[in-house]
Structure 1
Amino acid sequence: MNLAAIETFLAVTRVGNLNRAADEMNVTQSAVTARLDALEQALGAKLLNRSRKGATLTKAGYAFLEQAELIASTWSNAKAQANLPRGVTQLFSFVCAPSLWPKLSESWIEGLRRDHPDTAIEIWTGLKDDAQRWLQSGVSDAALLPEPITGPDYDHRIFSTETLIQVSTVEREAVRWDPAYIFVDYGPAFRAQHAAAWPSGETASLSFSNPSWAHEYLLKHGGSAYLPERMVREDLAAGRFFAVKGSTTFTQRSVLSWRKASEAAFSWLASN
C-alpha cells in the first residue's frame, strides 16, 4: 500500500477538501484524486464521499482513519529512529497530558536529558485514549496521565501526588460563589470532589482543560481558580496570587505508564 496515498487521505480528512489538500501537499488535484482512487481500490472500500463542496468520511473511512493515523505515525517514528543525531543511539517517545507538563514532567524530561545523553526524546501531547492507542501500536514508549493504562502489556507507577489550591488575584476568604471563578477540569475524579466540596448550583462562565491556560488568563484578566501548587508557588511569593483563605484543597495523582517491551531500552522507567 502506498504511504503517499495514506498521507493524502489523512490530509483530505483534515482539511475536508481535495483542492486544499493538494495545495497543502504541493501536488495537483488530479494527483490527490489518483492517490485516493488507488487507496480505495487497494482496500476494496469507498473511504470518502467526494463532491464540489468537499469530502466527508464514509463508514469505511471512519473505520480506516485510526489505522491510517497509526501507519503514518509509525512511519514518522521509523524515520526519526533512522536519522538520530550523532552520539544518540535510541529514541524515547513520551506522551504527556497537557496539565502535567509545566514544572512536573518538564523537570523530569530535563533530568533524563542530563542523565541519558545517548537518548533522543520526542514528546506528544494527549489524553488516555490517544496514549493507549499510541502505546499499543508501539509508536510511543510511555505516558504520564492522571490515571494508569492497564493490561498485560503495560506496567505503571505513581509518578507524583500534588496539591490543587484555590488562588485568587485579590486577597479574600472562601465564599459560596465567586462570579470571577474559572473552572479547571482535571478529570472525572476532580469533578466529583469539586461538586461535593462546592455544591453551589452556579456554573462557571469560563472553563479550561489546561491549567497553564487558566494560569495565563488569571494573570491577564484576574479571577480565581484551582491550580497546582507547583504552578503558583512563585506567584504567591510575589503577591500576584493569593491563596483563598478557608477554601478546600484537592489532590491530583499522576501515573507513569509504559510498554513492558520498552523496559529493556529504558530501565529507568520503573525507577522512582
Structure 2
Amino acid sequence: MKIAAIQTFLSVVRTRNLISAAEEMNVTQSAVSARLDTLEESLGQILLVRSRKGAKLTKAGFAFLGQAETIVNTWENAKARASLPKGLTNLFSLACEPNLWVNLAETWMTNLRASHPDTAFEIWSATSREASEWLQSGVSDAALLYEQIVAPNIVSRVFSRDRLVLVSSVEREVMPWDPAYIYIHYGPEFRRHHVQAWPKDETARVSFNAPDWALRHILKTGGSAYLPDRLVKTHLDNQRLFAVKGAEGFEQTIYLSWRESHDEKFPWLVDQIQDSRHP
C-alpha cells in the first residue's frame, strides 16, 4: 500500500470531491480514482461513496480516517528525521495543548533550543486524543497536556501547575454572580472545583475553550473569567485587569508525557521533571 494512496484519501476527505483533491495533489482526476481504488482493494473495504456531487465517508472510511492521519504523520516525521539540516543530529517533536504554549511551553522550548544547538525542534498543536495517538505511534516524542497519558511504555509526570485567578475588567470584590462572567472550559477537574466554589444555579452567557481567546474578548468588551496567572500578569501589572478581591483561586495540573525509550535520547525530559519538583 503506497503512502500516496493514503495521502490522496485524506485529500479527498478534506476537499470533499475528487476534482479538488486532484488539484490539491497536482495529479489527474483519474489518478485520484486509481489511488482510491488501490487503497480500497488493499483494505478490502469501500472507504468513500463517490458521485458527481462529491465524496462521502462510509462507516469503514470513518474507522480508517484516524489511522490514515497517523500513518501520514508518521511518514512525514520519518522524512524530517532523515533529512535534518547540516549540523543538526536530532529531532525532538512535541505535541502541545494550544492553551499551554504562551509563557509556558514557549519558554521551555526557547531554553531547550539554547542549550541543545544540535537538535531540531518541531511543535504540533494537538488535542489530548491526537497527542495520545501521535505519542503511541511514534509521531511525537513527548506531549504537554492538561491530562496525563496512560498507556504502555508511556511515562507521565507533573510538569507544572497553572494557577487560575478570577480577573475582571473593573476593580471589584467577589459577588454572588457576575452577569458578565465568562466560563472557560479547562476540563473535568476545573469543572468540579468550579461547581463547588460557585454552586449558584447560573449559566455564563459566553464561554470559551481557549483562555487566550477569552482574554482578548475581556480586554475588548469587558467581563470576568478564571485565567492562568501566566497570561494575565502583565495586564494586572498595568491595571488593564484586576484580580477580584476575595475570590477563590484554582490550580490546573499540567502533565508532560513521553515515550519511556526516549529517556536516554532526550535526557532533558527527566531533568525538566526534577527541576519542576525542586524550583
Normalised by the shorter chain, which TM-score bucket? over 0.9
Which string of whole-angstrom CA distances, capped at 9 and with x for unpartnered residues, describes residues 94-148 of structure 1?
Answer: 0111121110111111110011111111111112211111111011111111121
Q: CA deviation at 1:266?
A: 0.2
Q: CA deviation at 1:64?
A: 1.5
1:124 aligns with 2:124: yes
Equivalent residue, structure 2, for 1:194: 194
Distance of 1:210 and 1:86 partners within structure 2: 38
Distance of 1:16 and 1:177 partners within structure 2: 46
Equivalent residue, structure 1, for 2:167: 167
Pairing of 1:31-70 with structure 2 (within 5 A): 31-70=31-70
Q: CA deviation at 1:200?
A: 2.3
Distance of 2:162 and 2:67 partners within structure 1: 36
Pairing of 1:220-259 with structure 2 (within 5 A): 220-259=220-259
- Segment drifting more, 237-246 vs 144-153: 144-153
Equivalent residue, structure 1, for 2:113: 113
TM-score for the superposition, normalised by structure 1: 0.96
1:11 aligns with 2:6: no
Distance of 2:205 and 2:21 partners within structure 1: 37
Contact 2:148–2:256 (Cα < 8 Å) also in 1: yes
Equivalent residue, structure 2, for 1:90: 90
Which string of whole-angstrom CA distances, capped at 9 and with x for unpartnered residues, describes residues 77-109 of structure 1?
Answer: 011112212211011010111121110111111
Equivalent residue, structure 1, for 2:24: 24
SS of the equivalent of 1:234 reads: helix
Which string of whole-angstrom CA distances, capped at 9 and with x for unpartnered residues, describes residues 38-90 of structure 1?
Answer: 11122221110112222111121122212211110111001111221221101
Q: CA deviation at 1:259?
A: 0.3
Distance of 2:225 and 2:53 partners within structure 1: 43
SS of the equivalent of 2:203 reads: coil
TM-score for the superposition, normalised by structure 2: 0.94
Contact 1:154–1:259 (Cα < 8 Å) also in 2: yes
Distance of 2:23 and 2:164 partners within structure 1: 46
Q: CA deviation at 1:162?
A: 2.8
Equivalent residue, structure 2, for 1:262: 262
Q: CA deviation at 1:206?
A: 1.5
Distance of 1:14 and 1:199 partners within structure 2: 43
Aligned length: 272
Contact 1:95–1:142 (Cα < 8 Å) also in 2: yes
Distance of 2:189 and 2:83 partners within structure 1: 42
Which string of whole-angstrom CA distances, capped at 9 and with x for unpartnered residues, describes residues 231-257 of structure 1?
Answer: 111100101000111111101111111
Q: Which runs of 4+ in 1 moved over 3 A?
A: none
Contact 2:167–2:227 (Cα < 8 Å) also in 1: yes
Aligned sequence identity (%) = 58
Distance of 1:201 and 1:99 partners within structure 2: 28
Q: CA deviation at 1:28?
A: 2.3
Distance of 2:53 and 2:243 partners within structure 1: 53
> Unaligned regions of 5+ residues in structure 2, if any?
275-279
